[in-house]
Amino acid sequence: MNRRIIYGICTAVLLGTEILIGMFAHGWVRSYLGDVLVVILLYTLARTISPKWPSKPYILPAAILVFSFAVEFLQLWGFCDRFGIQNRLLRIIIGTGFSWADLLCYTAGIIPCFAAEYIMAKTAKRSVNKEI
């Protein structure tokens, strides 16, 4: 099966899961599991859009982690309030409350993405070596 299709299916499943968590979950599932899954969602979305970019296995997960940290620090700064964002959906997506625990959750969530990148890079390298 095409890698892009697999990533697309994973993205859809993760998005559905995140929506259900946002609507119905409470406690540690909403506070922690949702944050772990959101970076994996961003990773699968990026791989759906561009399954072969970038070629270095650590760049995409690192970029997603930096982006996630940046959004979290924008919450610390009060981004939504400073810019007068009142739309409820936008406030949920951007977030309004900073948490150090969220940074740990993003880090935990990106680890499987780094592992997937590493495995794909090794597999691709092995298949190129077999062709030679």
**In terms of C-beta distances under 8 Å and separation of at least 24 residues, what long-range contacts does 54-63 make, across chains too?**
57/114, 57/117, 57/118, 57/120, 57/121, 58/114, 58/117, 60/113, 60/117, 61/110, 61/113, 61/114, 61/117
Between CA 29 and CA 58 the distance in angstroms is 28
Q: Which residue has the higher pLDDT, 6 or 132?
A: 6
Buried b / exposed e across 73-92, counting CB within 10 Å, b at 16+? Answer: ebbeeebbeeeeeeeeeeee
**Domain with 76 in it:** 3-131
Q: What is the mean pLDDT of the chain?
A: 90
Look at the chain and report how many structural domains it folds into. 1
Which pLDDT tens digit goes with each residue over 40-81?
999 999 999 987 766 678 999 999 999 999 999 999 999 999
Residue 121 has pLDDT above 80, yes or no: yes
What length does the chain have? 132
3-state helix, strand, coil in the chain (%, to 5): 80, 0, 20
